């Protein structure tokens, strides 16, 4: 399964990539909106995982652009700045799931599996 991981914090992105690759996923990291658009234009992905707040855009906006280039795919929102109703807000924004940082691998794996199973 191919994952586009949009995360601006370098250490977090690298750690998540390594953990996901150990689980057998193929992961491409994008740290900016421009990186995400470039990746979406040059490859196909099964799921996108994105931070909700990036220095050069909001996660929902970037996911919309990625979907325009790569086609429909589930998106999982992640953030360290949660509010009480953030999960509902993320779903209204078009995300299939929402996870709070720090993210546990088991939760992330379950979220990916659940989101992609809904498409099949």
What pLDDT digit, counting tens, does each position of 71-92 carry? 889 999 998 876 777 778 888 8
Report the distance separating Cα 89 and Cα 34, nearest Å. 25
Average pLDDT, the chain: 90
Task: Classify residue 77 as exposed, middle or buried by CB count within 10 Å of its CB (0-12, 13-18, 19+).
Answer: buried
User: What does residue 77 show for φ and ψ, rounded to 5 degrees?
Assistant: -90, 140
pTM recorded for the entire structure: 0.92
pLDDT bin (cut points 50, 70, 90) of residue 55 is: confident
What homologous superfamily is domain 2-119 in, according to CATH? Response regulator (3.40.50.2300)
């Amino acid at each position: 399964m191919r994952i586009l991981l949009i995360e601006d914090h370098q250490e977090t992105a690298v750690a998540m990539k390594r953990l996901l690759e150990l689980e057998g996923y193929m992961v491409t990291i994008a740290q900016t909106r421009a990186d995400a658009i470039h990746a979406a234009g040059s490859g196909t992905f099964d799921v996108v995982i994105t931070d909700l707040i990036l220095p050069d855009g909001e996660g929902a906006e970037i996911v919309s652009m990625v979907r325009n280039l790569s086609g429909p795919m589930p998106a999982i929102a992640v953030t360290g700045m949660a509010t009480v109703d953030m999960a509902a807000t993320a779903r209204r924004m078009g995300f299939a799931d929402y996870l709070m940082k720090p993210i546990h691998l088991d939760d992330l794996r379950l979220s990916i599996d659940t989101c992609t199973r809904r498409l099949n």
